[in-house]
Amino acid sequence: MTAPIPETLRIDKWLWHARFCKTRAIAQAKAEAGRIRINGNRVERSSFAVRIGDVMTLSAGGKILALRVLALGERRGPPPEARMLYELIED
């Protein structure tokens, strides 16, 4: 029997799975810095729960990105797999 798919995932794990951060420690620091917003709310804890459908705003590669969470991910996979976890929202 397979394990049920979780409904939420910690933001630090999601950022790491989606390859926005090289390490989970960097993801934790980024989340706790208060520079990420989910559904318009400022995130200040690395344990903040991310759900499918959430809209996230963060800085990456010198740009401000808005994205929609499509999946939570089970592991940190290769970049093509990581890109399937989100879609960029164009202005």
Determine the pLDDT at residue 4: 60
Alpha carbon separation from 52 to 1, 25, 56, 86 (Å, rounded)? 24, 23, 11, 9
**How many angstroms separate the CA atoms of 38 and 76, rounded?**
21
Q: What is the pLDDT of residues 4-58, one digit of tens each?
A: 666 999 999 999 999 999 999 999 999 999 989 999 999 999 999 999 999 999 9
Is 13 strand, coil or helix? helix
pLDDT at 44: 94
Overall average pLDDT of the 51-80 stretch: 93
Instruction: Report the predicted TM-score, pTM, of the whole model to 2 decimal places.
Output: 0.88
Question: What does the pLDDT read at residue 12?
Answer: 95
* Domains of the chain: residue spans and CATH: 8-88 (3.10.290.10)
pLDDT category of residue 60 using cuts at 50, 70 and 90: confident
Contacts of 28-32 spanning 24+ positions with Cβ under 8 A: 30/58
